Amino acid sequence: MPRRLWTGVGALALGLALLAAAQLASASHGFRYGGTLQVGLTGASVQIDPQLAYSSTSWWLEYATALKLFNYPDRAGPPGSVLRPEAVSSYRVSRDGRTYTFSIKEHLHFSDGTPVNAESFAYAIDRAANHELASPAAPFITDPSGTSIVGARAVNNGRATHVRGVVAQVLLPKVGGGRVAAREVLLNTPAVASVISEGKTSQLPMAIEAGRRQGMVPLTDALIAYVRNGIVDVGEAYRYVADRPTFLERFKREGIDISTIERVAPSPTNNS
For the chain, give the mean pLDDT. Answer: 75
- Choice between 90 and 46, residue whose per-residue pLDDT is larger: 90
How many domains would you assign to the chain?
2
Of the CA atoms within 13 Å of residue 215, those in its CB half-sphere come to 4
- Choice between 166 and 103, residue whose per-residue pLDDT is larger: 103
- Is 7 contained in some domain? yes
Distance CA 189, CA 152 (A): 17
Spell out the residues 6+ positions from residue 202 whose beta carbon is closer than 8 angstroms to its own.
none
Spell out the residues 6+ positions from residue 159 whose beta carbon is closer than 8 angstroms to its own.
none
For residues 52 and 149, membership in a common domain is answered with yes
The pLDDT of residue 229 is above 80: yes
- Is 34 contained in some domain? no
**11-20, 40-49, 259-268: which is most confident:** 40-49
pLDDT digits (tens, 9 = 90+) for 232-272: 888 888 877 767 777 788 877 877 777 767 554 443 333 32
For residues 190 and 140, membership in a common domain is answered with no
Q: What is the pLDDT of residue 188?
A: 64
For residues 156 and 69, membership in a common domain is answered with yes
For residues 163 and 213, membership in a common domain is answered with no
Q: 131: domain range?
A: 1-28+40-167
Q: What is the pLDDT of residue 210?
A: 82
pLDDT digits (tens, 9 = 90+) for 20-40: 443 343 444 455 666 777 777
With b for 16 or more beta-carbon neighbours within 10 A and e for fewer, the 12-21 pattern comes to: bbbbbbbbbb
The pLDDT of residue 83 is above 50: yes
